């Protein structure tokens, strides 16, 4: 799945307690649906769909 957006990669230590922040342009491009009750982020592009489980 490819999204036409810009990312900045920062070389830091991994920390599972730090959230991923997705801006509104990315959410609009990826047709993001955030379901807090089911704790899932759904990204869609064309016929493809990716589920990301959040806590």
List pLDDT tens digits, range 39-55.
Answer: 898 888 788 888 888 87
* pLDDT given at position 31: 73
Is 45 inside a domain boundary? yes
Quick check: is 3 in a domain?
Answer: no
For the chain, the domain total comes to 1
Confidence of residue 3 (pLDDT cuts 50, 70, 90): low
Q: What is the pLDDT of residue 49?
A: 87
Residues in the chain: 55
- 2 vs 17: CA distance, rounded Å: 26
Q: Is residue 41 part of a domain?
A: yes
Report if residue 29 sits inside a domain. yes
Asked, for residue 36, whether it belongs to a domain, the answer is yes
40 part of a folded domain? yes
> What's residue 22's pLDDT?
67
Within-domain flag for 7: no
Model confidence pLDDT, tens digit, residues 7-24:
666 677 776 676 666 666
Q: Which domain holds residue 28?
A: 24-53
| Half-sphere exposure for 36 (CA within 13 Å, toward CB) | 0
**pTM score of the predicted model:** 0.50
């Amino acid at each position: 799945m490819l999204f036409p957006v810009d990312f900045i990669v920062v070389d830091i230590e991994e920390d599972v307690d730090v959230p991923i922040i997705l801006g509104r342009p990315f959410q609009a491009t990826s047709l993001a649906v955030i379901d807090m009750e089911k704790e899932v982020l759904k990204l869609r592009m064309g016929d493809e769909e990716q589920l990301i489980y959040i806590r």
